[in-house]
Amino acid sequence: MSSPDTLPATGREWHLIARPQGWPSPDDFALREGPVAAPGEGEILVRNLHLSVDPYMRGRMNDVKSYVPPFQLDKPMTGGAVGIVVASQAEGFAPGDHVLHDLGWREYATLQARYATKVSAELAPLTSYLGVLGMPGLTAYAGLLEVASFKKGDAVFVSGAAGAVGSQVGQIAKLKGASRVIGSAGSDEKVRVLTEEYGFDAAFNYKSGPVAEQLKDAAPDGIDVYFDNVGGEHLEAAISRLNVHGRATICGMIAQYNATEPPAAPRNLAMVIGKRLRLQGLLVMDHADLMPKFFEEVSGWVRSGDLKYRETVVEGVENAADAFLGLLKGENTGKMIVSLGE
């Protein structure tokens, strides 16, 4: 237990101050000093060490009803974070413990201990609990194996394949016996990472030509599973290449998160009928029951080196908004992390 006079009185926190129209800009965010509350009964005070910025946060900046409430204006934003307990009024939590929780975008967080999960810095790097062993990792695992009903021998196409989720989808597919894994990404360097580091059988830069043509060349025999992080032109191309009884997991549509007009594609949805395709949306929160199995299997692959991952780390809480904006523009390879320093 820390004595009250050693606890911080204030900490910096990011507020959304305007709802973005189209692409967000730095003017939509403000880094402000806010009070830090001492923990009450059943609560812990955490000094955040690493913050997560994720594509889904863009949707929470719009004032629309969705599966999670929108961010409130002039209030701290939230998101995944890993930190160290500095004070505790909760049984089972002591200063020095590392925890994963959802009050990111700030230096200090006071929260009910029941909303925190203890994590081990000995078992895995702390940043991995925000990525490969955290929410993005479970998204990849559940989206491929459960939602897309992946089976050995399937040919798999992943869009946004160099990101935190997509890179893991492709590797899990390979480890589970996919006949062919194809990825798309937004730069030649990311394409190289997909094939040379992550073991994808083929990959292409979607900026180098029409997605449909590049996918046809990469998957001459079609695909059985499409993991969609992008939407739009990618989804249209995948529908064209999916074999009969193909499945698509619709995880994200980053291509239109900042669009102000409806997308032109996909224009070929009628193909869903003849091919008897299944397109199913994915929310990771529906698959929490898979967490123990996911953690056991994926942490084993990470320890053995069978599953590789990258992180793009931006230093300093003051750079969190820039890191988020960079993520939307594809400036990351793998998980985008904001580190506040140990």
Classify residue 291: in a domain, yes or no: no
Residue 56: other Cβ atoms inside 10 A = 18
Question: Residue 259 corresponds to which amino acid?
Answer: A
User: Smallest Cα–Cα separation from 226: which of 172, 171, 150?
Assistant: 150
**pLDDT per residue over 122-131, tens digit each?**
989 999 999 9
Clarify whether residues 68 and 209 are in a common domain: no
- Residues 266, 165 share a domain: yes
In this structure, are residues 98 and 84 in contact, taking their beta carbons and an 8 Å threshold? yes
86 and 226 within one domain = no
- Count other C-beta atoms under 10 Å from residue 139's C-beta: 29
Does the pLDDT value for residue 3 go beyond 50? no
Residue 5: what pLDDT?
55
The proportion of the chain whose per-residue pLDDT surpasses 70, expressed as a percent, equals 99
Pair (139, 274) in one structural domain? yes
Q: Are residues 18 and 147 in the same domain?
A: no
Strands (E), the chain: 10-16, 29-35, 43-52, 81-88, 98-101, 108-112, 117-119, 155-158, 180-185, 202-205, 223-228, 242-250, 278-281, 311-315, 335-339
Query: Are 230 and 161 a contacting pair, CB within 8 Å?
Result: no
Are 228 and 180 members of one domain? yes
The number of domains in the chain is: 2
- The answer to whether residues 293 and 138 touch, using CB atoms and an 8 Å cutoff, is no
Enter the pTM of the model: 0.93
- The average confidence (pLDDT) of the chain is 95
| Phi then psi dihedrals of residue 36, to 5 deg | -110, 120
- Write down the pLDDT at residue 1: 44
Greatest Cα-to-Cα distance within the chain, rounded to the nearest angstrom: 69
Question: Within a domain: residue 295?
Answer: no
- Ranked by mean pLDDT, the top range of 63-72, 99-108, 247-256 is 99-108
Residue 274 host element (H or E): helix 271-274
Query: What stretches of 178-277 adopt beta strand conformation (E)?
Result: 180-185, 202-205, 223-228, 242-250
Please check whether residues 278 and 172 belong to one and the same domain: yes
Cβ-based neighbour number of residue 163 at 10 Å: 31
Let me know whether 139 and 250 are in one domain.
yes
Lowest mean pLDDT among 5-14, 34-43, 236-245, 305-314: 5-14
**pLDDT reported for residue 256:** 87
Is residue 302 one of the residues assigned to a domain? no
Residue 3, by phi and psi: left (phi above 0), alpha (psi -120 to 50) or beta? beta
Q: In this structure, are 50 and 105 located in the same domain?
A: yes
CB 180 within 8 A of CB 155: yes
- pLDDT at residue 2, rounded to an integer: 45
Give 27-77 pLDDT, tens digit per residue: 999 999 999 999 999 999 999 999 999 999 999 999 998 888 999 999 999
Which residues span the domain enclosing 112?
Answer: 4-131+309-339
The CATH code of the domain that includes 52 is 3.90.180.10
